[in-house]
Amino acid sequence: MADPTPILTIDGPSGSGKGTIARRVADQLGWHLLDSGALYRLVALAGLRKGLAQDDQSGHQRVAEQLDVRFGLASDGGEQIWLEGEEVSRAIRTEQTGEGASQVGAMPGVRAALLERQRAFAQAPGLVADGRDMGTVVFPSARLKIYLTASAEERARRRYNQLKDKGLDANLAALSLDIAERDRRDASRPIAPLKPADDAQIVDSTSMTIDAVLARVLELAAARFGL
């Protein structure tokens, strides 16, 4: 039997640098990228636009089941995401949508509705999957699992710079509190909590540059996949 599609999972808390690293690793390897957080953000945004109450589980499950989304790339290489035909790449990156994503991510019906959609990203020549439960739930037999983390202070600082760079409003003290609250919710939910898979390699990026993290992940990938 042919080897299954090679999968590299990168899980970790908000602001650990997963998103940037996953994108750059996928680019370097020429593999597909699954940004699973974007799916949870899209469900939160679609629910908000439909006027659903934040705790409406069956309503958000239906939204997740019917999610009409398209991923693409702008001519400058930036991401483009359409929700029901409308470009929402910026709208899904706000802190408000991130907070909503963390809330809908705690709903079992939403997670179940997104499971097969996420697994469908596993296609040749390979997949880099970024999220909270990629190595534990969505792709438990992935051949390389990385858990990327950093101190809470460093993650708040990175998030602050990221938002500022995008021209979005940001306040460092408020971000630190939000990150602590989001960590608590993502790690303590009963279903698919944020935690390293038993067979994950832990990479602590607190005092590493993005380039150093990228080099480390590529080194692990080369060794594991024989690239």
Q: Minimum CB separation from ligand DC for residue 93, in Å?
A: 8
Q: Minimum CB separation from ligand DC for residue 77, in Å?
A: 19
Please tell me the distance from the alpha carbon of residue 24 to that of residue 46, in angstroms, as a whole number. 28
Beta carbon nearer to ligand DC, 133 or 146: 133
**Whose CB is nearest to ligand DC?**
37
Beta carbon nearer to ligand DC, 30 or 49: 49
Do the beta carbons of residue 145 and residue 9 sit within 8 Å? Answer: yes
CA atoms within 13 A on the CB side of 84: 11
Do the beta carbons of residue 125 and residue 149 sit within 8 Å? Answer: no
Beta carbon nearer to ligand DC, 49 or 189: 189
Strand order in the sheet with 32-35: 32-35, 127-131, 7-11, 144-149, 201-204
CA angle, 128 then 129 then 133, to 5°: 150
Beta carbon nearer to ligand DC, 132 or 158: 132
Q: What is the CA radius of gyration of the chain?
A: 17
Beta carbon nearer to ligand DC, 70 or 222: 70
Contacts with ligand DC, residue ranges (CB under 6 A): 14, 36-37, 40-41, 98, 101-102, 105, 131-133, 182, 186
H-run or E-run covering 71: strand 69-73
Q: Minimum CB separation from ligand DC for residue 37, in Å?
A: 2
Q: Minimum CB separation from ligand DC for residue 30, in Å?
A: 23
Q: Minimum CB separation from ligand DC for residue 134, in Å?
A: 6
